[in-house]
């Protein structure tokens, strides 16, 4: 991730070569911002090359839920790499993948009985979209080839995923003329804890009714819209979407890449509405942040519909699908999460975040604050200067990476109250005048 170094300090050869050769995500090569060099990490802390330690408030883009260098996950990786680190998944199977798929079916919402393993969150979304399209092609309804998404949504950086991100305010609006055109309903306006207003679903209801003959599926992020604005919305909205999809014969894709594995206070955010999607996308925290891995789950209805069609199979197969090393670590990560009282722990984190967010209301630069599960958000009136504020956060001893008007945290689940208080105090010290 990009940030800036202290200009007065000499740069290491690693940092010089980084600027010379490396293209970081969402970074400019014409006006590069040097990166901080991390040399090790332990628990919730990152250690920089100059010895500085930073409390990580981002869980390395929301995935290192158990923190860094965890002995259980380390051991799972070491044990597996001594057996087989990778083998093709075409025509071959192995215990780590089979056990992981069984585990995912057991813990996800009811009815999601088939698992397709993928490489990353964006690929999981690509797989989900391809699944619903091939389903309707196999059912003899190829005209159902459009998707209904929500404004302020974010689903990844690859082309099909970009096509269902917000086309105006989203980070991929530059590609509006080259991605496939789909339908977009207004973002939910009823907050997570607010009384339900049926009017909030009215335009969505009209759109799914008008276009049901063209719609393969609805795709959304349950309860929490992540990179599109860190917005928390009413679970009842999600319940109504499920009802309307059933009514109009449209499949439902739930993108839980950011929310899965306990982040919102439920194991999966769909549980807040007590609904089950037809297709579920998982990623990020699935391996505890150790390795890239993702999964797309679907119902027997979807899998049968695809496999009973002309092709006779699902037409997709990533090279590193079912990677044994990643699957072994994923099994260990999920077992580690479920072996503890994770729900009470997430409630503790939410309570501490809410307590710490109260102080931010006194800052004139702050528009609002909110917290849900292990997610804390400070929304500013104006966009932050990312390069400058990143430097200030590092000087304050924390790793926080804002975007737009949002300064937010998604800390590791192992963060102590003291860690959280230090994290929020550092953010406050940077934001106050």
Residue 171 has a pLDDT of: 82
Beta pairing partners, 297: 115, 280
List the one residue out of 270, 277, 324 whose CA is nearest residue 296: 277
Whether residue 154 lies in the annotated active site: yes
Out of 36, 154, 237, 408, the active site residue is 154
The set of residues, in sequence order, having a beta carbon less than 8 Å from that of 381 and lying 6+ positions away, is: 364, 365, 366, 367, 405
Closest by CA position to 263, among listed 399, 119, 412:
412
Is 373:262 a contact under the CB 8 Å cutoff? yes
* The pLDDT of residue 5: 40
Q: Give residue limits of the domains in the chain.
A: 13-69+342-431, 74-338
Percent of the chain with pLDDT over 70: 98
Question: Does the pLDDT of residue 375 top 60, yes or no?
Answer: yes
User: For residue 71, how many other CB atoms are within 10 A of its CB?
Assistant: 7
Per-residue confidence (pLDDT) for residue 10, from 0 to 100: 62
Whole-angstrom distance, CA of residue 342 vs CA of residue 339: 8
What lies within 8 Å, CB to CB, of 387 at 6+ separation is 3, 4, 33
Mean pLDDT is lowest, of 21-25, 85-89, 94-98, 170-174, for 170-174
pLDDT (tens digit per residue) in 238-261: 999 999 999 999 999 999 999 999
Non-local (6+) Cβ contacts of 149 within 8 A are 155, 164, 165, 182, 183, 184, 185, 218, 219, 220
pLDDT above 50 (res 100): yes
Mean pLDDT check: name the lowest of 95-99, 275-279, 429-433: 429-433
The encoded tokens of residue 11 equal: 């740069």
Q: Which of 30-34, 195-199, 267-271, 392-396 has the lowest mean pLDDT?
A: 30-34
**Contact (Cβ atoms closer than 8 angstroms) between residue 214 and residue 142:** no
Lowest-confidence region among 187-191, 279-283, 385-389, 421-425: 385-389
The answer to whether 21 is a known catalytic residue is no
Model confidence pLDDT, tens digit, residues 9-41: 567 899 999 999 999 999 999 988 879 999 999
Catalytic, 408? Answer no
Q: What is the CATH number of domain 74-338?
A: 3.40.640.10
**Cα three-residue angle 93-98-103, rounded to 5 degrees:** 170
Domains 13-69+342-431 and 74-338 share a fold: no
pLDDT tops 70 at residue 170: yes
Q: Which of the following is catalytic: 200, 255, 266, 408?
A: 255
For the record, the structure tokens of 16 come out as: 């010089």
Please write the tens of the pLDDT for every residue from 351-370: 999 999 999 999 999 999 99
The answer to whether residues 280 and 254 touch, using CB atoms and an 8 Å cutoff, is yes
The pair of structure tokens assigned to 285 is 């925290």
What class has domain 13-69+342-431?
alpha beta
What is the pTM for the complete model shown?
0.96
How are beta strands 215-220 and 146-150 bridged, if at all? parallel
Q: How many Å apart are CA 15 and CA 48, to the nearest integer?
A: 12
pLDDT of residue 120: 96
- Structure letter (DSSP) for residue 73: H
Catalytic-labelled residue, pool 45, 144, 266, 284: 284
Element of type H or E holding 203: helix 202-211
Rounded to whole angstroms, the maximal C-alpha distance in the chain is: 66
Asked if pLDDT for residue 315 goes beyond 70, the answer is yes
The residue among 412, 136, 401, 325 whose CA lies nearest residue 249 is: 136
pLDDT at 110 (0 to 100): 98
Q: In the annotation, is 183 catalytic?
A: no
């Amino acid at each position: 991730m990009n940030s800036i170094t202290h200009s007065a300090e000499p740069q290491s050869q690693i940092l010089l070569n980084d600027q010379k050769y490396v293209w970081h995500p969402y970074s400019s090569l014409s006006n590069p911002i040097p990166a901080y060099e991390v040399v090790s990490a332990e628990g919730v802390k990152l250690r920089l090359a100059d010895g500085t330690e930073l409390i990580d408030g981002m869980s390395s883009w929301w995935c290192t839920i158990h923190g860094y260098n965890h002995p259980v996950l380390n051991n799972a990786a070491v044990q597996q790499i001594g057996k087989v680190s990778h083998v093709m998944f075409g025509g071959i199977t192995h215990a780590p993948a089979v056990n992981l798929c069984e585990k995912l079916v057991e813990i996800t919402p009811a009815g999601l009985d088939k698992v397709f393993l993928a490489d990353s969150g964006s690929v999981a979304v690509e797989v989900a979209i391809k699944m619903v399209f091939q389903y309707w092609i196999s059912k003899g309804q190829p005209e159902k080839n459009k998707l209904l998404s929500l404004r302020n949504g974010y689903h990844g950086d690859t082309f099909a995923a970009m096509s269902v991100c917000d086309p105006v305010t989203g980070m991929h609006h530059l590609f509006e003329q080259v991605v496939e055109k789909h339908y977009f309903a207004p973002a939910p306006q009823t907050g997570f804890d607010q009384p339900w207003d049926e009017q909030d679903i009215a335009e969505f209801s009209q759109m799914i009714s008008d276009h049901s003959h063209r719609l393969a599926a609805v795709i959304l992020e349950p309860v929490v819209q992540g990179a599109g604005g860190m917005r928390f919305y009413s679970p009842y909205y999600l319940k109504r979407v499920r009802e309307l999809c059933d009514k109009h014969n449209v499949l439902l894709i739930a993108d839980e890449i950011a929310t899965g594995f306990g982040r919102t206070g439920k194991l999966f955010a769909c549980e807040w509405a007590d609904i089950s999607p037809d297709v579920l996308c998982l990623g990020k925290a699935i391996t505890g942040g150790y390795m890239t891995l993702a999964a797309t789950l679907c119902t027997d209805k979807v899998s049968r519909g695809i496999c009973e069609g002309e092709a006779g199979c699902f037409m997709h197969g990533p090279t590193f699908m079912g990677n044994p090393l990643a699957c072994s670590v994923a099994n260990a990560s999920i077992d580690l999460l479920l072996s503890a009282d994770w729900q009470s722990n997430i409630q503790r984190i939410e309570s501490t975040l809410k307590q710490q967010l109260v102080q931010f209301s006194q800052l004139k630069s702050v528009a609002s604050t909110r917290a849900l599960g292990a997610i804390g958000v400070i929304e500013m009136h104006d966009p932050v200067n990312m390069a400058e504020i990143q430097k200030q956060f590092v000087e304050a001893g924390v790793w926080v990476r804002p975007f737009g008007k949002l300064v937010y945290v998604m800390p590791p689940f192992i963060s102590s109250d003291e860690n959280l208080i230090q994290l929020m105090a550092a953010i406050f010290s940077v934001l106050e005048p």
